[in-house]
Structure 1
Amino acid sequence: MSITQQYLLDSYRARVLGEPEPPAPGRHDADVVRAVRDYRRFNAVITERPARGRVRYALRRWLHPRAL
């Protein structure tokens, strides 16, 4: 069963039982991505690491290592 079929079945069941319909699939994806980003930034600050630019910094170190 696909996610769309499951959503339609849940919507029908909710209508029959007089309950509120479930949210559409993918409706809260942006909120989840934002929450994960904020959580990772918060953890970075708590562990005293830079909260932004960590990926770029790591790539720069990997691509341009300093000569010893």
Structure 2
Amino acid sequence: MSVLYTIVPLEEVLAGWQAEEKINQGREVWVEGVYMQVEPIAPGVGKVIRLIHCGLDDYLNPQLSPGAVVKY
């Protein structure tokens, strides 16, 4: 347990805290040899959040860009 002593209002200290929870709800999967984090939108289908392990050329592939829909 930690205690935080600050003059900053609690609302500012906790700002963005819920946004982190949404990011962490993704599922990590392999798609076409690329390890990525996706947000499930249907069984076996997800929206790309980020690429975790891939080649440099994969970052230029529009089918693997954040927001793209992939099947896993």
Length-normalised TM-score, structure 2: 0.27
Structure ID, larger Rg:
1
Structure with higher strand content: 2
Structure with higher helix content: 1
For CA contacts below 8 A with separation 6 or more, give which structure has more relative contact order: 2
Length-normalised TM-score, structure 1: 0.28
